[in-house]
Structure 1
Amino acid sequence: MADVSVSADGGFLTVAEGGRSARFHAIWLRDNAWDAQTRAPGNGQRLITLADIPKDTRIATAAVSGPSLRVTFAPEGKSVDYDRDWLFRHSYDRTQQSQPGWTAPGIETWDSGLMGNVPTGDFGDVSTSPLALRRWLADVARYGFGKLLNGPVEDGALMKVVDLFGFVRETNYGRHFEVRTTVNPSNLAYTGLGLQAHTDNPYRDPVPTVQVLYCLESSAAGGENMVVDGFRAAERLRQENPDWFDALTGHCARFEYAGEVGVVLRSRRPMIELAPDGELVAVRFNNRSAAAITDVPFERMETYYAAYRRLGEIIDDPAMEVTFRLSPGECFVVDNTRVLHARKGYSGTGTRWLQGCYADKDGLLSKLAALGAAEAAE
């Protein structure tokens, strides 16, 4: 049985039910009303602004009514029904995270221990089964990357992967880009050298948040793909040396790309980015695109470089990496704000042809949420 009480001044109410209790301010409740005068029934968007709500809004009365909580506001004299489960799901009356670098619910950081359990889906299954697609997208959201197997071996097949959850983000590199390398090449532009784990395009603001790499040819020995969880690397740095963690979160690095005529891309962002409440939201690490660091005070520059060096060492630690080889028709999707990717070097003879493109994580998360809502409604 639910119980509700209103503060003496009407500024907030307290609702208790089944061992749970939460307080809600009058202005918050009024702003989050779902009546037809406040929200559009079709899409849920607000029909009023905060300026349309009286500054002196307070709770006149509140009472339990079945599964709902009916609240009457003064001075409007307006009554609104709230679903109590919705209120508890959106409660802000809770202990807030306090340690800088905390990760959101549903995020699971990892290291090389994930090697035998790489999140993987089947292209045919996720293309035809909403349940299989939801499960695969949920793994990508949780771990920051995921593989797809048994896709078509055809030019442009990666676009069919993006179509599963969103839209291609076109850049100066085009809708997609070619990754062709030949072992013992006649031209060093097609080198088989390995690459350090990195995030792509840190010089963009915002960066592309999802990258797809799709394999069409793979006859060379070596060339395995490697991924590293940048969030786990940030956690290790914080545990080892909080001052170094603070240096990389508290000061901006600079990144730049000016490798083609008419293109000068620059950004100024921290290598480890936190939200104002300390949530770990992004990692940017790409030594090839790093510009001169000028936003760190003289007194902190040596500390900053020590932290930068140590973060690189953690990223390079084999205990942090998960490796896998892509065969033709296979691909992987990576959260480019979190997971660093690389490739091992080549040896012997052969070729390797991948196609890559960018997309946006909001599309992936939107598709995941919509699939979850549809499944719950069945």
Structure 2
Amino acid sequence: MQSPFVLENESAYQAWRSRKLEAYPTHLGQILVEINDPRSLTQAEHQAILQVCQKTNMVVYASKTGSDPDKDIPRLLGKRYGLERLNCNMLADDDGLTSLRVVEGGQHHDFIPYSNKPIKWHTDGYYNTPEHQIWGLQLHCVQSSAEGGENALLDHEIAYLLMRDENPGFIRALMQSDAMTIPARVEEDGVARPDAVGPVFSVHPESGDLHMRYTARTRSIVWKQDDLTLAAVAFLEKLLVSDLPFIYRGRLESGMGLVSNNVLHDRAGFNDTPDKKRLLYRARYYDRIAGTGVSEVYGL
């Protein structure tokens, strides 16, 4: 299979690029699918979600479950799309899903996802080992905050495309096995881990699909100190703060959620009130959304 994400496969890349950009959605409403109950999708709902994911590697859904806290809502929805191999961590709930809410004190205290602070652009699990990369990410909103908490979303394949068009050398630099290092520390999973060294962009050896590990944080990260890598990082940072039409911005409200192939995302800061406290469920998977592989969608 000629993966378009391998630099040497220029003809496959051009064919993929042309089809990828054709009628590509440029605002959040175009990737929003209204459904009744995520636990029991109709065939039409299932297909509508899949079609959006095949184009953009993500979908935002709006369901009628409201503030129902049933964890089967995201779990059964994910299962319909082959998302089953959960990446469990010590700060997750007993069932492997993570309840993202403001937690005062305790072991959660040092981790920004459990605060109301903004979170910079990243893909989930960027500190994971190469054998445990996060390919799928789900969010489900039980309750939004009183104010704030918006997300921005960007398809990592679009980020790759824009960088490759600008300078293929940027891709080559960010595919280096030591392009990005996250120094050793105790991470959000509560486990002390060694240095996490690896590429930003990588290609699955069997499926040919693109994976991205990235964080825009400036502390506790070491970029390879060569001119091309640093130029590539600077170009990506510039993309992420631009008014790029491919960046979707919005807020998940009760009953809404995200299903994605671990796309780039951020989170604005937010404020809770006593009667409106933000609660989202997060699920990370070692699986991609079934039926969205580059070979399945583009036949390359």
Pairwise same-fold verdict (TM > 0.5): yes
CA apart distance, 1:346: 2.4
CA apart distance, 1:348: 7.7
Q: Does 1:268 align with 2:193?
A: no
Residues 262, 353 of structure 1: alpha-carbon distance in 2 compared, 3 angstrom cutoff: closer
Residues 102, 231 of structure 1: alpha-carbon distance in 2 compared, 3 angstrom cutoff: farther
Task: Within 5 Å, give how 1:79-118 maps onto structure 2.
Answer: 97-98=9-10, 104=16, 108=20, 113-118=26-31
Q: In the alignment, what sits opposite 2:234?
A: 309
Q: Does 1:162 align with 2:113?
A: no
Q: In the alignment, what sits opposite 2:125?
A: 201
CA distance in 1 between counterparts of 2:25 and 2:55 reads: 16
**One-letter code aligned to 2:257:** C
CA apart distance, 1:273: 2.5
From 251, 255, 270, give the equivalent of 2:182: 255
**One-letter code aligned to 2:102:** T
8 Å CA contact retained: 1:162, 1:168? no
CA apart distance, 1:180: 0.8
**One-letter code aligned to 1:216:** V
Aligned length: 263
Task: Within 5 Å, give how 1:26-45 maps onto structure 2.
Answer: none
SS at structure 2 position matched to 1:243: helix
Query: Structure 1 vs Structure 2: percent identity of aligned residues?
Result: 19
Larger RCO: Structure 1 or Structure 2 (Cα < 8 Å, ≥ 6 residues apart)?
2
Q: In the alignment, what sits opposite 2:5?
A: none
8 Å CA contact retained: 1:229, 1:340? yes
Q: In the alignment, what sits opposite 2:61?
A: 148
Task: Within 5 Å, give how 1:108-257 maps onto structure 2.
Answer: 108=20, 113-124=26-37, 127-152=40-65, 153-156=68-71, 157-166=73-82, 167-172=84-89, 173-174=91-92, 175-181=96-102, 191-204=115-128, 205=130, 206-252=132-178, 253-255=180-182
CA apart distance, 1:141: 2.7
8 Å CA contact retained: 1:121, 1:136? no
8 Å CA contact retained: 1:213, 1:332? yes
CA distance in 1 between counterparts of 2:79 and 2:33 reads: 18
Larger CA Rg, structure 1 vs 2 = 1
**One-letter code aligned to 1:343:** R
Q: In the alignment, what sits opposite 2:106?
A: none
From 328, 340, 343, give the equivalent of 2:264: 340
CA distance in 1 between counterparts of 2:18 and 2:231 reads: 32
> Which structure is higher in strand share?
1
8 Å CA contact retained: 1:197, 1:316? no
From 303, 318, 323, give the equivalent of 2:243: 318
Q: Structure 1 length as normaliser, TM-score?
A: 0.58
Task: Within 5 Å, give how 1:44-59 maps onto structure 2.
Answer: none
**One-letter code aligned to 1:137:** L
SS at structure 2 position matched to 1:170: coil
Q: Structure 2 length as normaliser, TM-score?
A: 0.72
Tell me how large the CA RMSD over aligned residues is: 3.7
CA distance in 1 between counterparts of 2:192 and 2:15 reads: 35
CA apart distance, 1:247: 1.9
CA distance in 2 between counterparts of 1:354 and 1:257 reads: 28
SS at structure 1 position matched to 2:102: strand
CA apart distance, 1:275: 6.5
CA apart distance, 1:115: 2.9
Q: In the alignment, what sits opposite 1:365?
A: 290
Residues 285, 170 of structure 1: alpha-carbon distance in 2 compared, 3 angstrom cutoff: closer
8 Å CA contact retained: 2:184, 2:196? no
* Residues 157-166 or 351-360, more deviating: 157-166
CA distance in 1 between counterparts of 2:283 and 2:15 reads: 27
